[in-house]
A and B are shown apart, each in its own frame.
Chain A
Amino acid sequence: MSQAVFVFYSTESRRSEEFVRQTLAVCESVDGFKFGSPGETVDPADISLDQNSTVELSWQGGAGDVSITFTYKPRPESFLEVFTRREMLLPEGGEGEYEGLTGAVMELVRALAIEHNPYYVMSPDLEKIMGTDPADVTPMKGEFELERIPWFGVYSSSLIEDLGGREHVLETPAWRVEELDTGSILIIRTRTPWADLGRDHPVNRHLLGAVS
């Protein structure tokens, strides 16, 4: 069972009790999830979290679970990670808004991005598809330069400038482009997760220029 992950980056450490409590409050606010594994009841007040600690969320609408891992670190490491099973992210129907677990996971990630206003959020394809290296979308070390646009991304103001400015980014020909209240821009390349990550995809060409 392969994993899907949404990774949150910041330029500074986020370690604080308040950060944890804010995150748990966001998790509680998204319809359909409850804390703990299926059949288990967990009071968020009882959750204490150290480095790399994980909170489990179970989906009330059927099979499905999500885990939130607190890592707190600044870029190039991450401060928060949202894991779910890859096969759980199955958009229903041919088009339209996400529903079910896929919709709830997306709402959770979006709400966390609004709450924490990260530098960057992305969901890399962890499978080894030829020609689409996850390192292209992952801050590895030092200065971060996007080599490819990930399937899912949230871009803060400094990244928006790197990608050609707010107006240009908002015109990206992606399935979903949304300016969040924080000023960051959320972009989902294709409705189907990781459907087309090629360099010649219109989203890639629009934001990163022509294929060399």
Chain B
Amino acid sequence: MCVHRNDISDSELRDIDTQGALRSITGFDRDAQDAATDLIDGLGARGISTVNDADALTDTVDGLTASEVEDLLVSYDSYRRADFDGARSPRAIQDDLDQLADPDDGDESVDGIARMIRERTGSGDAGNFRGVDGAVQVAAEKIDEGVDPNDLHLERDIDIDKRDVVRETGLSSQDLFKETDIDVDVDGGSSTEIKKTDFEPFADKGFANRARAKELGDLWQKLNTVAAYKDSGSITVTVSRASDEPFSEGVLRELRSSNNNIETGTLNVEDVSSLRNLGDQVESEFEIDIIFRRFDRGE
């Protein structure tokens, strides 16, 4: 695990608001106090600025409470310790959140920041925070690319009428969710689903293969649901594997099995050996592009 103590130099101390951080920490609950001091211990000056900036989000993000900021800090700390493949530092995530909270000096914050933090922090499960890391990075990139912040939505809840979709397509009810969310959505434009997983089992064990096959079944249903909702444009899926890399045999065996209740609906599982194949089958039903984007470690 790459968790290092980070001493703060005299020059750094002159440039950062240590008193502000101290005031913030004093007001936090016990878990957030522990997380904040761990962040400062681990990241030094960048830890102090991260704590300060996170605390300031309640001033700029509509509906974000002090309690949710405390949950965010706990997640920062557990996420840093988990050290997932492809994970960025809390400082980098906070930089993106700062941009999304105040996209053009004085503009309203991007829709959904409070909702995303509420739904993806607080449990202490570092794995759940990967979606935040990916979503804020993608959303900040959208703004850099010129997307109007007012058109951007994080953790957007959507629902569809499955009967309508089944009637108008060759899909079945088992190919769709009734409700889901879109991690990053642009009005009239692209949607992004953050996976940051490689769909590889840790070993060729039955339950590990079944877990990954279930996740692929979920991805198939989610892509169809979002495609039906959007009707056009593109869906980008961020993953930690090449889109044309074949899945392991054990995962494919489970995906193709007919007696394990993995929801694959009308997916032609015999034609699926990679993410690209799965995306192709979504594209064949909808006027939408499915793009797989690979997150590499440290990116």
Contacts and interface: CB of A to CB of B under 8 A. Distances in A.
A26 interface: no
B125 A140 contact: no
Contact of A133 (B85, B127, B202): B202
A192 B123 contact: yes
Contacts of B179: 63
Contacts, number: 110
B202 A134 contact: yes
B84 A130 contact: yes
A78 B203 CA distance: 14
B210 A81 contact: yes
Contacts of A129: 82-84, 126-127
Interface in A13-59: 50-56
B161 interface: no
Given A54-B260, A56-B261, A192-B123, A2 B206 contact: no
B257 A52 contact: yes
A198 interface: yes
Contacts of A134: 202-203, 208
Contacts of A193: 123, 125
Contact of A195 (B83, B124, B207): B124
A190 to B, nearest CB: 8
B31 interface: yes
Contact of B202 (A71, A87, A126): A126
A201 B198 CA distance: 28
A204 interface: no
Contacts of B83: 129-131
A87 B215 CA distance: 13
Contact of B82 (A5, A77, A83, A130): A130
Contacts of A3: 211, 214-215
B197 A2 contact: yes
Contacts of A61: none
A3 B259 CA distance: 19
B102 interface: no
A158 B203 CA distance: 26
B197 to A, nearest CB: 7
B88 to A, nearest CB: 14
Given A128-B84, A138-B205, A5 B211 contact: yes
Nearest to A195: B124
B78 interface: yes
Interface string B211-230: 10011001000100000000
Contact of B123 (A71, A85, A90, A135): A90
Interface string A150-194: 000000000000000000000000000000000000000010111
B164 to A, nearest CB: 17
Nearest to B210: A69
A87 B121 CA distance: 11
Contacts of A140: 203, 205
Given A128-B84, A135-B202, A2 B127 contact: yes
A110 interface: no
Ranked nearest first, the 10 interchain pairs of A and B with the lowest CB-CB distance are: A192-B124, A54-B261, A3-B211, A130-B83, A131-B1, A1-B218, A90-B123, A134-B202, A127-B127, A129-B82
Given A54-B260, A128-B85, 15 more contacts: A3-B211, A3-B214, A5-B211, A54-B259, A63-B179, A89-B123, A90-B123, A91-B123, A94-B29, A130-B83, A133-B202, A138-B205, A192-B124, A193-B123, A193-B125
23 contacts: A1-B215, A3-B211, A3-B214, A52-B206, A53-B260, A55-B261, A71-B206, A78-B207, A81-B207, A81-B210, A86-B127, A86-B128, A126-B208, A127-B84, A127-B127, A131-B83, A133-B202, A134-B208, A190-B124, A192-B124, A192-B125, A193-B123, A193-B125
